[in-house]
Structure 1
Amino acid sequence: MMDIEQIKGIRRALHQNPELGGEEWETSKRIQQELEKAGIPFKTGFAKTGVLGIIEGGAAGGTVALRADIDALPISEKTAVDFKSKTAGKMHACGHDAHTAMLLGTAFKLKEMQDQLTGRVLLVFQPNEESTPIGGARPMMEDGVFDEFKPDVIFGQHVWPDLPVGQIGIRDKEMMAASDRLIFTIKGAGGHASMPHQGKDAIVIAAEFISSLQSIVSRNVNPLESAVLTLGTISGGYRYNVIADRVELNGTVRTYSSKAKETVKRRIDSLVKGFAEAFETEIDYEYIEGYDATVNTPEWAELIRGRAVETLGAEAVPAVDPSMAGEDFSRFLAEYPGAFYWLGCAREGEEKSKPLHDPEFYFNEDALEIGINTMVDVTVNALEKLKK
């Protein structure tokens, strides 16, 4: 029998020993050990550390894939839990330790009812989710994770501190945004601060360029569509009395629709060319395509919603807005039907929980059993639906 205390122990062990994307060797080894103990066959070697568990039902039928990401973040933990990270500068600040533990718990329960299942369940433990634009989903597929068994549907769940324990967030279409990177290098000409006419001040150019970039969303993107353009870093200059000859800007673009993305890309290109000409300077830039938008298949989103209402109650499935955060699960959904949903995990008694990727992010372990039961229930009902 699946023991929730066992799952809690697995989650805490993973939390104490976080590994960054592409380095999840010990995490992968622990997953394999747990699957082996449960008598669940598995394959390895996908995107280096990825694992595919396989549960064959008692009768032929459809194939349901379930995905959990396994990597941590380069963040120094600031929580007060007894099982905090043992590795300086690394933390499971996005809940992937819980995702991994819950998929193992789901696997244990499905293994117990294996003979009653009609079809096949694929357990996808994905590395490197946090490493946009590379990610782990596409490399896993390129390495043949679904070569032998192709899923008819794939599901993923993500812990969500904006929702209380006991609630599920699900939308019929957009759940998460496309996530792209921006890198600009403005090349001016240096000089003495007292003689600015002899140089080309990269800081002044950057200041005006930043303001113009911010007008793209407000004045070029259709107001009925969503887009965010954020510059997160700016660096340049040497000394208070020296004209800066170089400034670098780094940022991100988030969109849901390809039309909005193309509008942003086109206007960025126009602005770069216009500023370079107007200031008689050179501006290099890269627009790095990251994860696509995570867009659910409506019929499978409705199945999740229906099962959550049935098992947790109508109040447990509130209307939710999509998130502008990116998610590598989008690459699975680009190939296969499926749905991605959020699992409430807010800390009880807190008016506003710390967000994902925060060094004080706290996962409420009361959500573990709900997450496992939801994924099991969704899987069983998806297999039943695929029979028809």
Structure 2
Amino acid sequence: MYLFKESVEAIIPKVKEWRRHLHQYPELSFEEFETTEYIIDQIKDFTDITYERLAETGVVVRLNGSKPGPVIALRADIDALPMTERSGVSFSSKNEGVMHACGHDSHAAMLLGALYALYEHRKELEGSFVFIFQAAEEVFPGGAKELVEKGIMDGVDAIIGQHTGPKIKVGHIATRPGYIMANSDRFEVTVVGRGGHGSSPQACLDPIPVGAQIVTALQDIVARHVPAQESCVLSVTQFNSGTVYNVIPDTAVIKGTVRTYSTENRELMEKMIKQIAEKYAAASDMTIEYEFRRGYDNMCNSDTYTKALMEVADELYGSGTAELMAPGLGGEDFSYYLQKVPGCFYFFGIGNKELDCVYPTHSTKFRIDEDSFSVGISIMLNAAIRFQKLAKKEA
């Protein structure tokens, strides 16, 4: 049964208006003050809702139905990226050097649309719905962790999150039960040598060749220590040393990222990066400084709730609407919510070659086909009602 169809169709023009406004005025992580006020302005005259700012930016809205029942949370992130937009759309960013290149403007606008649609039917609903307009997904430690620590998931039975999917055609979604995103960590190794004149390397402890050996040796961790059937990535993304052509520097700094699913592989990577760096440095009478910074934890969808959401999508738009995706190695702080309650995170298709909506997220040319909005909102709303039924059965 397709619930809220007329309400969703009626609100789409407003969703597009909201999204385009947010797109023109993007704000960086933890700086989303005007974005937060704009969202509040759209709901401040509503009765039968409450809203609060649990963090400095972002807002949490609660809508109660006419009788008690399960509580379902729906989340959208609202922050932008430090990028200069080159998408060519008529409503491009007016904030120089800041761009909504990951679709968080659409996430926020669509969640507002979902709130409006449910608000219209509030007298027919049971239970409650918590709408989380969350700050700072793009930078660690992210905005979700603070909200969870402040009890945002207390009393919530299940949660739904969605994200733009540039590789997915409009009208389709993609998700999977189990691991859908990875542990997202970073490391930094500083090789400490002894600098001097470039003409006298014998009087120095040159950290550059040792750093190069470490970079090469790190690639053996995944190849030789992680089972072939387990996904794991180690990428060295920075190698910096020296400032002058004729001076051997004191240090060389290696930075990179590690993506894993299991706790065991995460701990293995942390330990072995240090061991390898220490070994090569010691062989040349040098030392290292080491930092392994754990970022977002892996994200694991509930089997039951993910199956239910995929069924809802196929019921609404036909068999095959919901595609089973492979696990991704990106990071997402939605993982903190899923550590507390079951739920599903999915990607909704925004791809359309005719409209040049083909660029990946975090591209300066990133575009969204706005025809995707009605599909995303409808699936989110109907899945929320289905989740309430599941929560009742599990109670």
TM-score by length of 2: 0.94
Partner of 2:143: 136
Segment drifting more, 169-178 vs 188-197: 188-197
**1:197-226: CA deviations, max 9, x gaps?**
211111111111100111111111111111
Cα displacement (A) at 1:140: 1.1
Q: 1:102 to 1:40 in 2, by over 3 A?
A: farther
Q: Is the 8 A contact 1:38 1:108 kept in 2?
A: no
Structure 1 residue 116 and structure 2 residue 121: aligned?
Answer: no
Question: Residue 238 in 1 paired to residue 243 in 2?
Answer: yes
Query: 266-275 or 292-301: which moved more?
Result: 266-275
**Which position in structure 1 is the counterpart of 2:94?**
86
Residue 221 of structure 2 aligns with which residue? 216
CA distance in 2, matches of 1:152, 1:54: 14
Q: Is 1:250 paired with 2:255?
A: yes
**Matching of residue 312 in structure 1 with residue 317 in structure 2:** yes
Residues 236-245 or 2-11, more deviating: 236-245
Whether 2:152 is the aligned partner of 1:145: answer: yes
Q: Aligned residue for 2:4?
A: none
Q: 2:3 is matched with which residue?
A: none
Q: Contact (CA 8 Å) 1:35, 1:53: kept in 2 or not?
A: no
> What one-letter code is carried by the residue in structure 1 that aligns with 2:254?
L
User: Is 1:20 aligned to residue 28 of structure 2?
Assistant: yes
Match of 1:323 in 2: 328
Secondary structure of 2:68 counterpart: strand
1:176 maps onto 2:181 in alignment:
yes
Structure 2 unaligned runs (5+)?
1-6
CA contact (8 A) 1:61 1:386 kept: no
Aligned partners of 1:158 and 1:50: how far apart in 2? 17
Mean Cα deviation higher: 341-350 or 276-285: 341-350
Q: 1:141: how far off?
A: 2.1
Q: C-alpha deviations, 1:50-103, integer Å up to 9, x for none?
A: 211111112211110000011111111111001111111111111100000000
Indicate if the aligned counterparts of 2:153 and 2:341 stay in contact, CA closer than 8 A.
Answer: no
The CA distance in 2 between the partners of 1:86 and 1:290, in whole Å, is 31
Q: State how far apart, in whole Å, the 2-side matches of 1:154 and 1:371 are.
A: 15
Task: Please tell me whether the aligned partners of residues 94 and 357 of structure 1 are also in contact (alpha carbons under 8 angstroms).
Answer: yes
Provide the secondary structure at the position in 2 that maps to 1:140. helix
Over residues 177-236 of structure 1, what are the superposed CA-to-partner deviations in whole Å (9 max), with x where a residue is unaligned? 111111121111112223222111111111111001111111111111111111222211
Residue 101 of structure 1 aligns with which residue? 109
Corresponding residue number in structure 2 for 1:50: 58
Distance 2:255 2:368 in 1: 30
Aligned to 1:160: 165
Per the alignment, residue 283 of structure 1 pairs with 288
Deviation, 1:38, is 4.1
Unpaired runs of 5+ residues, structure 1, are: none
Which of 293, 298, 303 is the equivalent residue of 1:293?
298
Which deviates the most, 47-56 or 346-355? 346-355
Distance 2:222 2:358 in 1: 29
Q: Which residue of 1 aligns with 2:14?
A: 6
Quick one: structure 1 residues 243 and 72, their matched pair in 2 at CA, closer, same or farther if it must change by over 3 Å?
A: same
Match of 2:186, SS state, is strand
Name the TM-score, length of structure 1 as normaliser: 0.95
Number of equivalent positions:
385
Q: SS at 2:97's partner residue?
A: coil
State whether residues 185 and 248 of structure 1, in contact with CA within 8 Å, keep that contact through their aligned partners in structure 2.
Answer: yes
Tell me the equivalent position of 1:377.
Answer: 382
Identity %: 38
| In 2: Cα distance, 1:276 partner to 1:236 partner | 15
Name the amino acid aligned to 1:272: A
1:179-190 map, 5 Å: 179-190=184-195
